Amino acid sequence: MPALKRIFLLEKDTTQFLQIVSIFIPFMQLNWVDVFKKIENISEAFILVSKEYSNLVENIYDKIVEHKKEINLFIINADNIICSLKHKKTDLVILLGVECPEHGFENAIYLQDKLGDEEIKHINTFSNVYFDSTYLQYKSHSYIQNQELLVVTKNEAILRYFSRKMHVKPFYNFDIENRFDYLTRRINLAEIAKNNKTFAIIFVHETYLSLAVKIKKSLENRGRCGYLLFLRNIRYSRLVTIENIDTLVLIDCPAYDNFNIDVTLPILSPADVQYILSKKWDPKYEINKFDISVENCKEKDICIYQGAGKLILDSDFFGVEFSSKDDDDLEIYEGKSGIASEYTHE
């Protein structure tokens, strides 16, 4: 009996539906020898698929279950950059999209794109080159931070990520914002929010918990109010539900561009908050950099505390704050999902 197809969209809005169409993308392929070898001794695998590659899913899914019918194979809708922080761990991931340059996967199989002979010849004239994960077979050049970087990618988000870190040259024709314009926008936004008092500090992964706690304490030590919120995936529909807050601080993977979500509140990075509190601009601006020492704060603490460190506000924060007391369990657990009807162990 053929395996029953099981298609799940995990950790995403249920309104999103994975469109599967039969359009062929030239050159894009998997190394099937590698695929069959790696699935031989595993029981579960994820196919993580970005929207632009959704037309490849059906054929790949069928080929895998035909080779190994007993495998638990899940298709999961992914962002245009596929980051390991955004997905659960599993035995194997098959990336139909471009891997995050910051947070890769431990055991992954990648789509492979091909370059023409003339393209390779042109690339070889550069000494500093970055290939995205679909060009791994060409990865032979060093990647140096302080030199112009040729970025070989068809993914605009990857190119945007590098253009905000350093001077880049796109291999393909993209019109991107340069680092100077990007930093100008960041400093202008920080100036707008510099006198704000109530901050929701949102972090997307337990990796960033200590940074979130440090920012919260730094704000409170300077007479401002901070609340910790954990959201694995940042969406407009989630941000607009946060009430009685005048500033959002987002601690996310630097490769993601969630600072342009169109909400009425300013969305700051840790580096923006550092600028506001220190009144000094760091020309080496890195989104998640926050070097302010909590212990050395000399400004007077003007916040009022009650009980277990709760801040008394004229306008109380409406929401569920992430607890960060030292004696609390700081593990992050998966919440209930589905339609609320009846739970066990209530």
Q: What is the pLDDT of residues 137-177, one digit of tens each?
A: 887 555 777 789 999 999 999 999 999 988 999 999 888 88
CA distances to 1, 47, 105, 338 from 36, rounded to whole Å, are 21, 14, 18, 34
| CA 67 from centroid of its chain's CA atoms | 33
Query: Quick check: 223 pLDDT over 50?
Result: yes
DSSP β-ladder status, 44-49 and 93-96: parallel
Q: State the average pLDDT over residues 206-227.
A: 95
Query: Quick check: 231 pLDDT over 50?
Result: yes
Query: Quick check: 265 pLDDT over 70?
Result: yes
CA distances to 32, 42, 63, 77, 162 from 35, rounded to whole Å, are 5, 11, 10, 20, 30
DSSP string, 231-289: -SS--HHHHTT-BS-SEEEEE--TT---TT---SS-EE-HHHHHHHHH----TT--TT-
Q: State the average pLDDT over residues 194-215.
A: 95
By residue count, the chain amounts to 346
Query: Quick check: 206 pLDDT over 90?
Result: yes
**pLDDT score recorded for residue 144:** 77
**pLDDT score recorded for residue 6:** 40
**pLDDT score recorded for residue 25:** 44
Query: Quick check: 18 pLDDT over 60?
Result: no
Measured from the Cβ of residue 241, the count of other Cβ atoms closer than 10 Å reads: 9
**pLDDT score recorded for residue 338:** 63
Tens digits of per-residue pLDDT, 29-81?
899 999 999 999 999 999 999 999 999 999 999 999 999 999 999 999 999 99
Q: What Rg, from alpha-carbon coordinates, does the chain have?
A: 23
**pLDDT score recorded for residue 17:** 32
pTM of the model: 0.76
**pLDDT score recorded for residue 139:** 74
Query: Quick check: 15 pLDDT over 70?
Result: no
CA dihedral over 158, 253, 191, 189, signed as positive or negative: positive
**pLDDT score recorded for residue 137:** 83
Q: State the average pLDDT over residues 222-244.
A: 90
Instruction: Answer with the residue of higher pLDDT: 187 or 147.
Output: 187
Instruction: Answer with the residue of higher pLDDT: 109 or 333.
Output: 109
CA angle centred on 160, ends 159 and 162, rounded to 5°: 65
Query: Quick check: 189 pLDDT over 50?
Result: yes
Contact 53, 82 (CB under 8 A): no
Tens digits of per-residue pLDDT, 292-338?
887 654 444 333 333 333 333 333 444 556 665 555 555 666 666 66
**pLDDT score recorded for residue 257:** 86
Closest CA to 12 of 229, 262, 232: 232
Of 5-9, 113-117, 294-298, least confident by mean pLDDT is 5-9
Contact 19, 7 (CB under 8 A): no
Rounded to whole angstroms, the Cα distance separating 293 from 68 reads 54
Closest CA to 25 of 48, 47, 57, 1: 57
pLDDT, the chain, mean = 82
Q: Where are the beta strands (DSSP E) in the chain?
A: 44-49, 72-77, 81-82, 93-96, 98-99, 108-110, 129-131, 149-152, 168-170, 198-203, 225-230, 247-251, 267-268, 305-306, 310-311
